[in-house]
Amino acid sequence: MGKPLQGKVAAVTGATRGAGRAIAVELGAAGATVFVGGRTTRESRSPIGRAETIDETAELVTAAGGRGIAVRCDFTVPADVDAFRDRIESEVDGQLDVLVDDVWGGELAVEFKPFWETDLDRQLDMWRNSMESHFIALHKLLPLVVRRPGGLVVEVTDGDADSPYSGMLAYDSVKAGLRRLAHGLAKDLEPHGGTAVAVTPGFLRSEQMLETFGVTEETWRDAIAKEPHYAVSETPHYLGRGVAALAADPDRARFAGQALSSWSLMNTYGVTDLDGSTPDWGRWNLDVVSTGTAPTSVDASKYR
């Protein structure tokens, strides 16, 4: 298999772990040079106590066949993003073909309760980490994207539509806001020959989710007993492969402004998860979750 993104340059914000890391790695596997940005390095501890670092992500990008460049950056700090942009200028003469905006940083703010009973400071931190950071990154990095026609901007969110309600007001507003960013950016980028989309994974087996259920990637099926919906979960690389395929598609402008999903990218490009499966969380959500059907009564293998 060739490397369709050979000679292309990507930047992934929030690339330390989860979907951001996997997207960076899969862009690298397709041949791209990938600037990976995040707060956690081997010398700078994670604010949420996680072990993953952007140094490791860059190494994984290179091991996959691309070129990974780690740049420590707090995307809520404009000066940091200026330095991130300057690194792209100095390393690759300012070339930026793909910008993936994946900063999240709201783990500590997830509270399933009425908004007025939540911790306000944590909710505001979620907003700053997940919305302000995206605005800052876009303002600083879009001038590089539009230097050449054909640029792609990807906003990573949760969900491909505004319903159903998650039960968390601030969380819902952030994720809907990111989808709206992609919608608006598509209009702004069109005169420059660029494309913007939002993308969402399904039930993600991120590093943190695996730990939450007390399993590893090798033993993830053991978690189905605790959470039956986990039977249709997916690795972050499933979405990463879809994004890489989208980036390599010369006709991707047909998706401008849309919210795409790991399962819709699978149906469009024929990508698979690491184990060769094709999880379809969208169909599972429609058939099982939204209808209140007991997941244990459904053959989950038909949705993989």
What are φ and ψ of residue 133, in 5° steps? -60, -40
Domain annotation covers residue 1? no
Mean pLDDT of the region 50-62: 95
- pLDDT of 19 reads 96
Count structural domains, the chain: 1
Which residues face 155 on adjacent strands? 101, 198
In the predicted model, what is the mean pLDDT of the chain? 95
State both tokens at 190: 């069109």
CATH number for the domain that contains residue 179: 3.40.50.720
pLDDT tens for residues 156-206?
999 998 878 888 999 999 999 999 999 999 999 999 999 999 999 999 999
CA distances to 34, 70, 138, 264 from 82, in Å:
17, 15, 11, 35
Can you give the three-state secondary structure of the chain, one letter per residue?
CCCCCCCCEEEEECCCCHHHHHHHHHHHHCCCEEEEEECCCCCCCCCCCCCCCHHHHHHHHHHHCCEEEEEECCCCCHHHHHHHHHHHHHHHCCCCCEEEECCCCCHHHCCCCCHHHCCHHHHHHHHHHHHHHHHHHHHHHHHHHCCCCCCEEEEECCCCCCCCCCCCHHHHHHHHHHHHHHHHHHHHHHHHCCEEEEEECCCECCHHHHHHCCCCCCCHHHHHHCCHHHHHCECHHHHHHHHHHHHCCCCHHHHCCCEEEHHHHHHHHCCCCCCCCCCCHHHHHHHHHCCCCCHHHCCHHHHC
Domain annotation covers residue 281? no
Amino acid residing at 112: F
Cα gap 66→64, rounded to integer Å:
6
State both tokens at 182: 């992609």
- pLDDT of 108 reads 74
- pLDDT of 111 reads 87
Domain annotation covers residue 192? yes
Asked if omega into 164 is within 30° of 0 (cis), the reply is yes
Domain annotation covers residue 229? no
Domain annotation covers residue 208? no
Sheet arrangement for strand 98-101: 67-72, 33-38, 9-13, 98-101, 152-156, 195-200, 259-261
Domain annotation covers residue 151? yes
pLDDT tens for residues 203-246?
999 998 999 999 999 999 999 999 999 999 999 999 999 999 99
Amino acid residing at 252: R
In which domain, by residue range, is 178 found?
Answer: 9-200+234-273
Residue 116 pLDDT class (50, 70, 90 cuts): very high
What are φ and ψ of residue 234, in 5° steps? -145, 155
pTM of the entire predicted model:
0.95
Tokens 């809907």 found at: 176
Name the residue among 53, 67, 42, 48 with its Cα closest to residue 20: 53
Domain annotation covers residue 226? no
Domain annotation covers residue 119? yes
Could you tell me if 262 and 45 are in contact, meaning their C-beta atoms sit under 8 angstroms apart? Answer: no
State both tokens at 111: 């509270």
- End-to-end Cα separation, the chain, in angstroms: 24
